């Protein structure tokens, strides 16, 4: 029997080499954005907001009925369906109050949560609940002032977002501004109405996607990307939900 003897130096070199190989393999296998099906529970919790998905043009007013200090902005609302981030993404162009935001649901607190990026790149988190098509959220700033946000769906093509603020020691809110949004483009079907259905969220399908020669529909680019990442998983969940609803 032949036994090869290693010196201490050779053993150390071999150990270093082995660690290097393992590190390289782990780095190669790691996926910074692992693919996984969207979180069904979160999608279900946000289902009432399917109607806001789309592109909007807004007119903001500091004082209702007055053009003084008024502004115009645009907003794109899409589903964000990532492994570490599931919710409705708000992207604003020329927005006075926000640059971007994401609306999700806090299952532990049984309330909605919205994290907004402000024009100065700071963030603010709001929490609140939905009642009769009005989503009312509150959050604090560094000065402990309370900011209240009220999103009201008037109909499938119009919504209002009211911004209010009150100092910590004050009991009433004062108006900061309000944006009246009108949906861009042509009229689309109301949620739950006739027309194509988004196979990801169940909202109104407006974008066609193809898989194995068949056409399906999704409601936004976020759902389109989620479908393209995992069409088999999306369609399996969709068919299961259809069966359960019968």
161-196 pLDDT tens trace: 999 999 988 999 999 999 999 898 734 333 444 578
- Whether residue 87 is found in the same domain as residue 201: no
Tokens 């919205």 -> residue: 114
Dig out the tokens for 91 from the structure. Answer: 């992207």
Domain of residue 172, CATH code: 2.40.128.20
- Whether residue 217 is found in the same domain as residue 133: no
Residues 175 and 165: their CA atoms lie apart, in Å, by 7
Instruction: Confirm whether 197 is domain-assigned.
Output: yes
Nearest residue to 182 (alpha-carbon basis) of 221, 154, 203, 204: 154
- Whether residue 83 is found in the same domain as residue 45: yes
203-232 pLDDT tens trace: 888 899 999 999 999 999 989 988 998 899
Domain count, the chain: 2
Helices (H), 2-50: 8-29, 40-45
- Whether residue 73 is found in the same domain as residue 130: yes
Is the confidence at residue 234, as pLDDT, over 50?
yes
Rounded to two decimals, what is the model's pTM?
Answer: 0.71
The confidence score (pLDDT) of residue 185 equals 75
The confidence score (pLDDT) of residue 38 equals 59
Residues 12 and 215: their CA atoms lie apart, in Å, by 59
Instruction: Confirm whether 1 is domain-assigned.
Output: no
Which residues are bridge partners to 152 per DSSP? Answer: 134, 160
112-139 pLDDT tens trace: 999 999 999 999 999 999 988 899 999 9
The confidence score (pLDDT) of residue 208 equals 92
For residue 221, what are the domain limits? Answer: 189-245
Would you call 230 exposed, middle or buried from its count of C-beta atoms within 10 A (0-12, 13-18, 19+)? Answer: middle
- Whether residue 60 is found in the same domain as residue 129: yes
The confidence score (pLDDT) of residue 204 equals 85
Taking all residues of the chain, what is their mean pLDDT, rounded to a whole number?
82
Q: What is the mean pLDDT of residues 46-63?
A: 92
- Whether residue 89 is found in the same domain as residue 123: yes
Would you call 84 exposed, middle or buried from its count of C-beta atoms within 10 A (0-12, 13-18, 19+)? Answer: exposed
Instruction: Confirm whether 58 is domain-assigned.
Output: yes
């Amino acid at each position: 029997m032949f036994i090869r003897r290693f010196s201490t130096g050779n053993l150390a070199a071999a150990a270093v080499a082995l660690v290097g190989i393992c590190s390289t393999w782990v780095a190669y296998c790691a996926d910074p954005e692992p693919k996984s099906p969207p979180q069904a529970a979160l999608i279900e919790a946000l289902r009432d907001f399917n109607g806001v998905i789309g592109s909007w043009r807004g007119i903001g007013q500091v004082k209702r009925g007055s053009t003084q200090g008024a502004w115009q902005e645009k907003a794109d609302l899409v589903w964000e369906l990532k492994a570490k981030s599931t919710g409705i993404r708000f992207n604003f162009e020329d927005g006075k109050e926000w640059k971007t935001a994401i609306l999700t649901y806090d299952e532990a607190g049984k309330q909605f949560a919205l994290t907004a990026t402000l024009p100065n790149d700071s963030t603010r988190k709001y929490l609140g609940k939905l009642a009769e098509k009005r989503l009312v959220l509150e959050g604090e700033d560094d000065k402990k002032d309370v900011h209240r946000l009220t999103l009201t769906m008037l109909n499938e093509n119009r919504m209002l977002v009211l911004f209010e603020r009150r100092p910590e020691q004050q009991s009433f809110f004062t108006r900061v501004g309000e944006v009246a949004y009108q949906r861009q483009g042509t009229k689309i079907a109301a949620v739950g109405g006739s027309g194509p259905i988004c196979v990801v969220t169940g909202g109104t399908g407006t974008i066609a996607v193809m898989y194995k020669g068949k056409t399906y529909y999704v409601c936004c680019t976020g759902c389109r990307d989620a479908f393209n990442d995992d069409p088999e998983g999306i369609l399996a969940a969709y068919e299961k939900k259809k069966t359960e609803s019968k």
